[in-house]
């Protein structure tokens, strides 16, 4: 019975890694489509999000079954409950990648972002991709040194996010209300993607150490 239980825990862990890999692919493709106003690539990301949703639901159902049937305690209980919470964060990251692609589709064939902010958003995209990649590695390796890379990327995104709003508040900003709304939404999507990556990192830290770190542990 214990071998079966451990096999089920292993499958849950592998499920998180699989979802994370799909999220990684989604943010890479969605930000590339966003930068290039590539409608086809954006559509592919939007369609692929259903797979992430399906895997999250499947993982959550398996985790709940283990909770109900196996009665886990201590570290095993942390693993299952943590997995339920991490799957929700990963699914939300997939949603945010989809939202970015939906903005691309909405404004096609025009770009979403005006020229003045192109490089700012390109750097935000690079940092989100770093977070997605490091989260996948963290889930696989449980190496807490990777957390510092995630934090550094999130700190960079926070600064860029503030820059976006400073630019829009400047007297030189003459873009249309529609563009202003698009830029506001896009910046929020990029910033929140990083937030959820940090949330996963915080939960992995809890699984490894058994200690729930305060919010400022991952403040960037």
Query: DSSP states of 83-141 as a string?
Result: HHHHHHHHHHHHHHHHHHHHHHHHHTTS-SS-GGGHHHHHHHHHHHHHHHHHHHHHHHH
pLDDT tens-place values along the chain, 220 residues long:
567 778 888 899 999 999 999 999 999 999 999 999 999 999 999 999 999 999 999 999 999 988 887 766 777 888 898 999 999 999 999 999 999 999 999 999 999 999 999 999 999 999 999 999 999 999 999 999 999 999 999 999 999 999 999 999 999 999 999 999 999 999 999 999 999 999 999 999 988 887 776 655 544 3
Which pLDDT score is estimated for 177? 97
* The domain made up of 2-218 is a member of CATH 1.20.58.220: yes
Rg (C-alpha) for the chain, rounded Å, is 19
122: tokens are: 């390109």
207: left (phi over 0), alpha (psi -120 to 50) or beta: alpha
Confirm if 45 and 26 have CB atoms less than 8 A apart.
yes
Residue ranges covered by each domain of the chain? 2-218
138: tokens are: 């963290």
């Amino acid at each position: 019975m214990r071998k079966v239980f451990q096999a089920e825990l292993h499958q849950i862990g592998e499920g998180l890694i699989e979802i994370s890999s799909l999220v990684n692919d989604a943010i890479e493709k969605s930000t590339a489509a966003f930068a290039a106003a590539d409608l086809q690539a954006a559509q592919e990301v939007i369609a692929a999000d259903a797979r992430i949703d399906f895997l999250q639901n499947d993982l959550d159902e398996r985790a709940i079954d283990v909770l109900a049937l196996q009665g886990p305690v201590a570290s095993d209980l942390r693993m299952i409950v943590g997995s339920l919470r991490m799957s929700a964060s990963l699914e939300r990251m997939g949603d945010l990648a989809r939202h970015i692609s939906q903005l691309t589709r909405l404004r096609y064939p025009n770009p979403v972002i005006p020229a003045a902010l192109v490089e700012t958003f390109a750097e935000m995209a690079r940092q989100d991709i770093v977070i997605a990649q490091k989260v996948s590695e963290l889930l696989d390796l449980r190496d807490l040194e990777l957390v510092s890379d995630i934090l550094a990327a999130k700190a960079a995104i926070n600064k860029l996010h503030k820059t976006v709003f400073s630019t829009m508040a400047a007297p030189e900003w003459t873009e249309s209300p529609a563009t202003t709304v698009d830029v506001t939404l896009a910046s929020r999507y990029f910033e929140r993607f990083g937030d959820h990556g940090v949330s996963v990192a915080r939960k992995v830290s809890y699984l490894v150490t058994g200690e729930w770190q305060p919010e400022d542990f991952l403040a960037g």
